[in-house]
Structure 1
């Protein structure tokens, strides 16, 4: 019996919405670290890191299918076709106007009401240290053009690094922005303690101000001399809710434009537990990262029969900027994928103990 056997049993006691049981996969490394993934939503379900001889669960999540399908916080799932928001669900490609399905305040969030997080992904490959999922999104899915074929591969290294590799191709030009929506609490996901006492740094000099609905408003803003300055490590609560940008979002729920050196391997963000025993380093080929402090997690089921509170976990979502498809004026890589191109990105989450 493995440490994760209980999760394997409880998550497969009842069928998923398609009438079949979920498939779970556990990866482990030589240090005893364990990570569990699921075919529903190509989800990162659990992450246990060895801390002083004990395994510490650092990922928020659920332990039953009923709770997983009930939660609306996208915990650990693969988000697509387009992570974050598209204003009014509208965009143009080559003079053709598109209206995709809306699902939050008149906008499209995380791909629409039936995003990739709700799909059953095919299992392409499984091994001791990796599992790969695939999904075909048909032309017109949620209103998006082109048949899109997506692969998401998870690997666990002996350096305690979870590597997420994304690839995709399309039959027509389409916006694409894939991310994983893991929430971290490095003190312990089910400890009942909040994530705001973690120490965070972000390798970014600009963030994107938004409306109360998370839609970009005006130009990018320099983080210097604002509460959004994480260029030096600081406790998240230090400047929490001290400005109108945060008040609108009930905390941090904002995109940071990553320093261009991040695309060449420099660390994009660092998160350290209040007890200083676990540090998470994030590196990515993506040009931006959404910091979300779990502002609306109240009443979300947890693994132990209770509920998470607001701010129970911190999401560090590597991605393109929100609504980038409607902002060609930005100095930002294109989120548009053409039929002759391949979408290829990677994000690494390394746990230092």
Structure 2
């Protein structure tokens, strides 16, 4: 009889374990709040595993991230009526991310933005980097961090740690660069992105995030009716190849003045103003007034349609604002949305473009024994 009960107990344990395992397997297939499935991201590249990681807080806000390119895939936040909206552009599967040349939601490196003619000088040695944008190097070149697989460690429901070793000579950059990106979904509905990097040889580094925001929650719509504020008295003008000239100009009396909130579409097509003609709209770096103080507001975007407010805080001296001028309808993303011109805005915290070649600008150089740090906070709330 004792043996009979032992057998029954064993069968019960096996059944419970089996049910638990089945539940766990089912959970990997469950759609996120955004409707994205983890299984559609589970893949590999050069032997490195790709996956989808989901952060959520007590308010029901949810952020989905893939370690392919360290990309923010979806951000679900409430609008003024409490309806959850996905406010970033992207794809719902890994195949589309890999099949198209895009920066949607990506961690950008080694150097965000442009480097003139792809040339840098480090410790007296000139390095030629790949040229992928009007003869310049953009966002680390054609094989930047956006196409690399980061090692991922989900610390808890609200924290994801991504690491990557960029080897000496990768994309032409000197030094073995160890990178750590920590993404934290806070309880006040902010995505707190913290960057760290160390090198064994002097190099340059300028990391940023390239999320495309559309606060209407409908990426078929433009962002032209959104209200933009930028805490900057100055900006760095560009030439017709989008390269900074080396000047720093006042925003006073120009369409670049967003110190007082302005509707984005109000002046964006004023091509009599040469900078808007060169950029085909806004695609410029603003010199922030914040002095690297993370507590001071750098910029904000407000959707008049949904009441969703996005605030940006950073330790960086500059902010690239890009209004999706080169989206052309060839990318069809999540929910079947067609990504057309000016259907999103990017807010990239950064060193100024081409800083390695402009010695009077904030330095992007990193030496052995030093630690590069940078921080960007994207905070979401609702205003009625």
**1:317 matches 2:348:** yes
**1:282 matches 2:282:** no
Deviations 1:45-73 (A, max 9, x none): 10000222321111111112222123333
Determine if contact 1:200/1:271 at 8 Å carries over to the other structure: yes
The match for 1:115 is: 144
- Which of 213, 231, 243 is the equivalent residue of 2:241? 213
**1:252 matches 2:277:** no
- Which of 166, 178, 195 is the equivalent residue of 2:223? 195
The match for 2:335 is: 304
The match for 1:185 is: 214
The match for 1:130 is: 159
TM (norm. structure 1) is 0.94
**1:29 matches 2:60:** no
Deviations 1:138-187 (A, max 9, x none): 00111100000000010011100110000000011111000000011111
Unaligned runs of 5+ in 1: none
Unaligned runs of 5+ in 2: 1-29
- Greater gyration radius: 2
**1:223 matches 2:254:** no
- Which of 80, 85, 95 is the equivalent residue of 2:109? 80
Structure 1 stretch 304-313 or stretch 227-236: which is displaced more?
304-313
The match for 1:344 is: 373
SS in 2 for 1:68: helix
The match for 1:240 is: 268
- The 1-side partners of 2:373 and 2:183 are apart by 14
Structure 1 stretch 211-220 or stretch 114-123: which is displaced more?
211-220
Structure 1 stretch 83-92 or stretch 62-71: which is displaced more?
62-71
Deviations 1:282-320 (A, max 9, x none): 000011000000001111221123421011100000011
**Which has the larger helix fraction?**
2
Task: Give the RMSD, CA atoms, in angstroms.
Answer: 1.7
1:94 positional shift? 2.2
